[in-house]
Amino acid sequence: MLGALALPGRLRTSGSGIPAEAPKTPPSQEPLRALRRWRRRRPCSPEAAAMEPPPAPGPERLFDSHRLPSDGFLLLALLLYAPVGLCLLVLRLFLGLHVFLVSCALPDSVLRRFVVRTMCAVLGLVARQEDSGLRDHRVRVLISNHVTPFDHNIVNLLTTCSTPLLNSPPSFVCWSRGFMEMDRRVELVESLKKFCASTRLPPTPLLLFPEEEATNGREGLLRFSSWPFSIQDVVQPLTLQVQRPLVSVTVSDASWVSELLWSLFVPFTVYQVRWLHPIHRQPGEENEEFARRVQQLVAKELGQTGTRLTPADKAEHMKRQRHPRVRPQSAQSSFPSPPGPSSDGQLTTLAQRVKEVLPHVPLNVIQRDLARTGCVDLTITNLLEGAVAFMPEDVTEGTQSLSTASAPKVRARSSQGQDLGHSMGV
């Protein structure tokens, strides 16, 4: 078949001009020729390989389930640092109380952000920003990826912004954490539209996290929800990267209190904010398409992958981690049990039942076959059909007549699929 697909330029001609038959390739060389053709077709150049999109990471790569490092050297370093970290934790708890009071007492201004940012650096929370000149103060909606429960606090140290707390009623904890209090999730979008449409000066932009759940910030982004992109037709994205020594930046099932304590325990946590150009909605572009385009841009700037995973996938992943899937007992009973009785006593009982039917068969032969099959019916069938070789034992005349009369009865019961040992007992 491959010869019929050969190019005309490769045909050999005889002296009369008639194409001669191409020399046949030995069968042993056919795999080599096919391998060479496959190598010529595959994209061997780095540019062609780079065009292939990388596989999207799964939830196990987007969320860390363990706080402590798995590397032995880092774990040893953490143990040696633990006394110092505990002292820093106690000291920073008192300093953090002063930071909270200062942030509540001072009005929102450049001076307040500078003072609080300096005090947060003492607490080990370092905020840095790149390309701050790209910040457009006319844009009222800021879009960022989500890494820790304190991302909005760090961005608020760099620029004035407000972030609503989703799925939580207004409370003192909501206000103390720096979130904007909203009444109900049903009215969230309409309330945010009214907030952005207000003419108060200076305008306060909204900082929204379309992922709605925090990731480890290393592998990829969750799917961006469309509701943040229905507020206004222009948004300004920013990227957020968090670095922390010794331990993981965030854990999937940890509370914000434990994340705060670990932030005060480690030497420092660096938040790197990078501003991107504002993005306008294209004519006729839906909210889903707008969100997808912004997600891909943010993922590209971070060197990550934009996935289609949602917070529901994260919840399912956490559920599987808490409760590893174990095969239920009913499912185990539906599968055939492995051959062999469960105990020596049961093996002896089954062997005696077979011995009553076939008294001329040695007991050790019966036990050996029962250990393999685990079934009286199969063992009797193997012995009667000669599948198991044995030397018959000497029995009395009455026992022989009993075994001779019992053998046809056993075969008839076996064809009906009933337990022969039970039938003989009856």
Tokens 């099959």 -> residue: 373
Q: What is the pLDDT of residue 423?
A: 43
Q: Strand pairing partners for 272?
A: 128, 241
- Between 193 and 4, name the one with better pLDDT: 193
In contact, 209 and 238? CB cutoff 8 Å: no
In contact, 240 and 210? CB cutoff 8 Å: no
Tokens 């009933």 -> residue: 418
Average pLDDT over residues 268-282: 95
Q: What is the pLDDT of residue 154?
A: 94
In contact, 321 and 63? CB cutoff 8 Å: no
CA distances, 2 to each of 14, 25, 365 (Å): 21, 11, 61
Q: What is the pLDDT of residues 346-363, one digit of tens each?
A: 788 888 888 888 888 888
Average pLDDT over residues 70-76: 90
Q: What is the pLDDT of residue 184?
A: 55
- Angle between the 110-122 and 151-158 helix axes, to the nearest 10 degrees? 130
3-state secondary structure of 162: strand
Q: What is the pLDDT of residue 183?
A: 56
3-state secondary structure of 409: helix
CA distances, 62 to each of 258, 295, 305, 318 (Å): 20, 15, 10, 12
Q: What is the pLDDT of residues 12-53, one digit of tens each?
A: 444 444 444 445 545 445 445 544 554 455 454 444 444 455
Q: What is the pLDDT of residue 355?
A: 83
* pTM given for the model: 0.63
User: What whole-number percentage of the chain has pLDDT above 90?
Assistant: 37
CA distances, 202 to each of 68, 190, 205, 206 (Å): 44, 21, 10, 13
Instruction: Dig out the tokens for 53 from the structure.
Output: 């999109």
Which helix (H) or strand (E) is 296 found in, with range?
A: helix 287-302
In contact, 376 and 339? CB cutoff 8 Å: no
Ramachandran sector of residue 75 (left: φ over 0; alpha: ψ -120 to 50; beta: rest): alpha
Q: Strand pairing partners for 130?
A: 274
- Residue 253, number of CB atoms within 10 A of its CB: 15
Which helix (H) or strand (E) is 237 found in, with range?
A: strand 234-243
Write down the mean pLDDT value for the chain. Answer: 77
Q: What is the pLDDT of residues 172-221, one digit of tens each?
A: 888 888 888 765 555 778 888 888 887 666 678 999 999 989 999 888 99
pLDDT at residue 301 tops 60 = yes
Q: What is the pLDDT of residues 95-144, one digit of tens each?
A: 999 999 998 888 888 899 999 999 999 999 999 999 989 999 889 999 99
Q: What is the pLDDT of residue 167?
A: 67
Q: Strand pairing partners for 127?
A: 271
Q: C-alpha dihedral over 49, 52, 58, 60, to 10 degrees?
A: 10
Q: What is the pLDDT of residue 101?
A: 92
d(CA 266, CA 269): 7
Q: What is the pLDDT of residue 187?
A: 74
Q: What is the pLDDT of residue 406?
A: 42
d(CA 331, CA 325): 12
Instruction: Dig out the tokens for 297 from the structure.
Output: 């841009």
Q: What is the pLDDT of residues 368-393, one digit of tens each?
A: 888 887 788 778 888 887 778 888 87
pLDDT at residue 342 tops 70 = no
Confidence band of 267 (pLDDT split at 50, 70, 90): very high
Q: What is the pLDDT of residue 325?
A: 54
- Between 324 and 99, name the one with better pLDDT: 99
d(CA 410, CA 134): 91
Q: What is the pLDDT of residue 233?
A: 92
**Angle CA 364–368–371, to nearest 5:** 135
Q: C-alpha dihedral over 397, 402, 408, 409, to 10 degrees?
A: 180
Q: What is the pLDDT of residue 324?
A: 64
d(CA 92, CA 87): 9
Q: What is the pLDDT of residue 88?
A: 95
